[in-house]
Each structure stands twice: as structure tokens, then as C-alpha cells.
Amino acid sequence: MNKALRNPVVYVLFILPAFILFLAFFIYPVFTAINNSFTSWNGISKTVNYIGFDNYVQAFNDDAFWKSVRNNVYFILFSCLIQVPLIIIFSLLIANVKKFKGLYKTAVFMPSIMSTAVIGILWGFIYNPDFGLANEVLGLFGVSPIYWLSDKNWAMISILITNAWQWTGFYIVMVLAAILSIPKELDEAAAIDGATGVQRAMKITLPLIMPIVSVVIMLSIAGAMKAADIVLVMTKGGPAGSTDVMATYMIRYAITSFRHGFGNAIAVLIFVFTIIITVLYQVLIAKRTERIEY
Amino acid sequence: MRATKKVIPHIFLMGYLLVILYPFLFVIFSSLKTNNQDIASNPFGLPSSITFDNYVNAWVNAKISVYFFNSLYIGILAACVSILFAAMLSFAVTRMRYNKISAIVFQLILLGMLIPNNSLLLPIYGIMSKLGILDTHMALLLPYIANAIPFSVIILAAFMRSLPGEIEEAAVMDGLSSAGLFVRIIVPLTIPAIVTVFIINFLGNWNEFLLANYFLSNDALRTLPVGMVGFRDAYNTNYAQMSAGIVFSVLPVMIIYAILQEQIIEGVTAGSVKG
């Protein structure tokens, strides 16, 4: 028995392919990113100059960098303050209807399996100032045309709406699954005691789904820090850098302007900021939403 | 009173449904119109005379068939290889008797889930250019295979751990080696988890944009998302034709979703919770 399952050759052969790829594409890149972030390397030349923390100092002194950080924060705030309440309300609504439950679930989930690039193109069309859906609908109410993606006051909110349109349904389905797994007896007992639908939702269902809501927030934060393709497809960071997020700022410098060292410093900062936010969230908020057994 | 109470949630939900579905209808309607003026004069409904020219033109101009098959084969191949490697590692880690090394390997792989992958874009670009495979499909296949490994290992290892030990005892008694055990017993039993992981990996590869955009410059090698963005940039004044392109690129996913919706919803949401 043990002989067959303690075969060192087989063990190593089975582990190696995945492990080598993992080292090559996760561990090694992290160290090269850190190393290159201290250089003025352009990504091509043979000579590499180490310049200490200059790249970081420069990033911290660049207003455009802080603008991109601010836009990442907008992504996080928009999902936590606007999307999460909507997610909870709609999943409660879907959980409590008898008819069309499957239809609602299937339909709201659909955008999340589609390519962000194609959704960006689709919404670019919707935001077209002359005959896009957004202005046509608003026009019915007498609103004058808005230059969604080319007006710097509107561009960021336009992207946030598109992002929410794509991902809200995904989280609704997650929360819905949690609601439907709560034993029916709890709700029925409260109903017999005379609690109204709203009371039951607020006092029974909501506390019980807090753990999954916490996961939703965690995933939204991770998603917000990763956001890049939606911005690249819809505005390329423009107009005038008003929709840049950290990842697109990094790409602009590293690939478009050949400042590889500086780009790597931004990559390290994305990494560090993500860890800080994740840890802060876990320590400050997630700990308080304890798991409830039923 | 009770009747209105029942209707109110449906009003809100139907409103949401309209917000999700109407954009797709808008694109389908627009794709059947002749030009931008036609869209502007009648934005909401079907045109008076339907034309399918846009579909023919988009198919030719956008080379959608090329992009489509590039995406399809890269998506499937990368998903299959990462599942094979991840399953081998999961088997070694969960079923073979090297508990200490296994624990270390497994923890390291878990660490990979914490690394925000787009911050590694530049170093991976560097690796690809050192290997001299930029602008070939290998430049996408290798990172796609590697990127999917931590997630696949987590799901597959959790599943394999839950398999009862008696199965392999009986198999080993019958004279199977550990490799034989993996191929004949463990993999067939893990099929449900493998299907889930395959769907998620495939969708991730199919939709990936950043690497595909920066690692390939040859138009004939492009994947669907990048190809579509290029198509939009080239023909962005002709929205009717662009709409037809969007329909082409969305349709296959819609069809797959219509057939496999249960598995996809279950797989994607379960995966994200565990991950």
C-alpha cells in the first residue's frame, strides 16, 4: 500500500510541471518586478542602472499617479456603497418571488460570463453622444445630450456604471445561493409570530447572509484593484488621464513610453496597496461579521 | 392587496431585466439597419426594412472567423493543460504519503491566489521576450496555463481530499501503481470538479484581454476580444456594422450559456467563494 503511494520518482514527476510553471509565472515575476523597480531600465537595453528609490519618489510626486489611485478608490467605493446595497435588495427580491425565479437568475448573471472588452465596445456604442441608447433614453425626458466618454466629468462614472452592469448580477447569484440555503423554518416561525416581509428580511435573512456579503465586498475590492481592461477599451485612460487607474497608468509608462523600471515600481505599488487594503478590511470589518450557525 | 404585493417585486425585477437585456436588443436592432442615420432616426425599434449586409461585411472585414478559432483553441488547450498539471499536483499532494513536503507545496500555491496578476504583466512580458516567443501563441498559452494553476489546484485538491481512502487501498491491492491509480481511479472520480474548473478556466482565457493585447501584434494571431477592439477602432464610424460584429462575438458564449447555464453559474460562483 505505502509502497505504491510513496514512490519518490512519481511524486516529483507529478508535482514538477505545475510547480515549475508556478515558480516561473508567480514567484519569479514578483522578484523581478521588485528588482527592476529600483532601476531606470527601458525594457530593451543591455545595461541596467540602479537608481534606488527614485522611481517610487517620482510616482509619489506625480499628480497623475494619485489621480489613478483615486480612480481605483472610486471603483471600490462605487461597488461597496452602491452595488452592494443593490445586490442585497435584488437578491432578496428574487429569493422571495415564486414565478420567474430561474429567468431572473439566468438573465442577471449573463453579462458576467462575457468578455469585458466586448462589453466595453457595446457600452461605447450605448454612450455614443449622437445616437447611443443612453442619450436617446434621456432625451425622452428632455435631457440634453451628454458626452459620456469624452467629458471628463462623466467619463469615470460612465465606466463605473458599465462595470456595475457587468458584475452586479454575478454577485446577486452568489448572495441568492446563500439566501436559499437558509432553512425555511426560521422564516416561517417569524411569519407565524407576525413579522412582516421587510422585518423578516432585515432581522433574519440579512444577518445570516453577512458572511457572504463580506466575501462579495472582498471580491469587489480585488476586482477594483485589478480593473484595467474596461478602462483601456472604453477610454484608454482619457480624456486627459481622468479615467486612468493604477494598472493603465503603469501600462502607459512601461509599454508605451518604454520606462520599464518606473512601470515595475507602479506594479509593486499596486501589489502593496492591494495587500494593505485586504488586510485592513479583514482586520477592521470582516472579523466582526462572525459566522452564524443554524 | 395581496395581489399588488406580489406584483411589486416583479416590477422592480422586470426593470432590472430590461436594463440587462435591452442593450443586447439595441445592438441586434442596430445591426439590421443600413447606417448611422438609420439608427439615429429610429433608435429603439426594428428598422422598416431589414438588411443582413452588415453581417456579411463584419464577417469579412473583422476576420471574426480567424479570431474566433484562435480564441477557441487557445482557450481549450490552455484550460486542458492547466487542469492536467493541476490534477497531477493535487493528486500527489492529497493522496501520496509525503505530508510535510505536500503541505509546503500546497501553501506556496495558495499564495499565488493573493498576487494581483495584472501587476505581473511587465515581468511576464520580459520572460516572453527573453524566450523569444512574443508574437506567437505560446506567449499566451504559457501564462494562461500558469495563471489558472493556483485556482485549479484549490478546487481539485479539495475534491480529491474528500474521496474515501478505501478506493485506492482496493486499487493498490489489485496491483495498480500510483500513476495507474491516478489515471484509472482518481481522474474518473474527479470529473465533476474537472468540469467546473474547465468552464471557469476556459471562460477566463476566452475573455482575457491584457496579455492578448500586448503580447501579440500579428493580426492573424489575435484572439476575439483584442480582434474586436481592433475592429472597433478601424470601423468606429459605422455603428451598424460594428453591432453585427458584437453579435458575432457574443453569440457563441450565449449559445454555450443557454445549454450549460446551470453548470456555469454553479461553477463560477462556487469557485469564487472557495478561492
- Per-residue pLDDT tens for A8-34? 888 999 999 999 999 999 999 999 999
- Indicate if B79 and B175 belong to the same structural domain: yes
Per-residue confidence band for B274, with pLDDT thresholds at 50, 70 and 90: very low
Task: Provide the domain limits for residue B33.
Answer: 2-51
- Indicate if B162 and B139 belong to the same structural domain: yes
**Is the predicted pLDDT of residue B275 greater than 50, yes or no?**
no
Using CB atoms, pick whichever of A14, A133, A260 lies closest to residue B88: A14
**What structural domains and CATH numbers belong to chain A?**
37-288 (1.10.3720.10)
Cβ separation B214–A114 shorter than 8 A: no
- Indicate if B18 and B122 belong to the same structural domain: no
Contact criterion met (CB below 8 Å) for A22 and B146: yes
Which grid coordinates are listed for A239?
A: 480624456
**Chain B environment of A221 (Cβ under 8 Å):** none
- Average pLDDT, integer, range B114-132: 86
Cβ separation A177–B96 shorter than 8 A: no
- Average pLDDT, integer, range A261-268: 92
- Average pLDDT, integer, range A102-107: 90
pLDDT tens, residue by residue, B200-253: 899 889 889 999 999 998 989 999 999 999 988 888 778 888 889 899 888 888
Region of residue A182 (phi > 0: left; psi between -120 and 50: alpha; otherwise: beta): beta
Q: Could you tell me the pTM of the whole model? A: 0.88
Mean pLDDT of all residues in chain A?
A: 87
**Is the predicted pLDDT of residue A294 greater than 90, yes or no?**
no
**Chain A environment of B206 (Cβ under 8 Å):** 115
- Indicate if B43 and B70 belong to the same structural domain: no
Contact criterion met (CB below 8 Å) for A261 and A38: yes
**Chain A environment of B250 (Cβ under 8 Å):** 114, 118
Interface of A with B in 123-142 (CB under 8 A): 123-126, 128, 130-131, 133, 136
Mean pLDDT of all residues in chain B?
A: 87
B211 to chain A, minimum CA–CA distance in Å?
A: 10
Rounded Cα distance, B275 and B271, in Å:
6
B253 to chain A, minimum CA–CA distance in Å?
A: 7
- Indicate if B186 and B233 belong to the same structural domain: yes
- Average pLDDT, integer, range B169-173: 81
- Indicate if B142 and B207 belong to the same structural domain: yes
> A200 Cβ partners below 8 Å, 6+ apart?
A187, A190, A191
- Indicate if B210 and B259 belong to the same structural domain: yes
Residue A29, chain B, CB below 8 Å: the answer is yes
Cβ separation A251–B121 shorter than 8 A: yes
**Is the predicted pLDDT of residue A110 greater than 60, yes or no?**
yes
- Indicate if B29 and B68 belong to the same structural domain: no
Asked if the structure places residue B161 within a domain, the reply is yes
Asked if the structure places residue B56 within a domain, the reply is no
Backbone angles phi, psi at B249, to 5 degrees: -80, -20
pLDDT tens, residue by residue, A150-193: 888 899 999 999 999 999 999 999 899 888 888 888 888 888 88
**ipTM of the complex as predicted:** 0.86
- Indicate if B112 and B24 belong to the same structural domain: no
Q: In whole angstroms, how far apart are CA A100 and each of A96, A155, A169, B155? A: 11, 35, 16, 32
**Is the predicted pLDDT of residue A293 greater than 60, yes or no?**
no
pLDDT tens, residue by residue, A37-67: 999 888 777 788 888 889 999 999 999 999 9
- Indicate if B35 and B158 belong to the same structural domain: no
Residue A50, chain B, CB below 8 Å: the answer is no
**Chain A environment of B108 (Cβ under 8 Å):** 22, 27
Contact criterion met (CB below 8 Å) for A125 and B30: yes
Question: How many other C-beta atoms lie within 10 A of the C-beta of residue A266?
Answer: 28
CATH number at residue B114: 1.10.3720.10
Q: Where are the alpha helices (DSSP H) in B162-238?
A: 166-173, 178-181, 187-207, 210-215, 224-234
Rounded Cα distance, A129 and A148, in Å:
7
- Indicate if B73 and B177 belong to the same structural domain: yes
pLDDT tens, residue by residue, A193-213: 888 888 888 888 888 888 888
- Indicate if B19 and B47 belong to the same structural domain: yes
- Residue B157, classified by CB atoms within 10 Å of its CB into exposed (0-12), middle (13-18) or buried (19+), is buried
Per-residue confidence band for B77, with pLDDT thresholds at 50, 70 and 90: very high
Closest CA to A256 of B113, B53, B122: B122
**Is the predicted pLDDT of residue B273 greater than 60, yes or no?**
no
**Chain A environment of B243 (Cβ under 8 Å):** 125
Q: How many domains does chain B have?
A: 2
Note the residue count of chain B.
275
pLDDT score of A3: 67
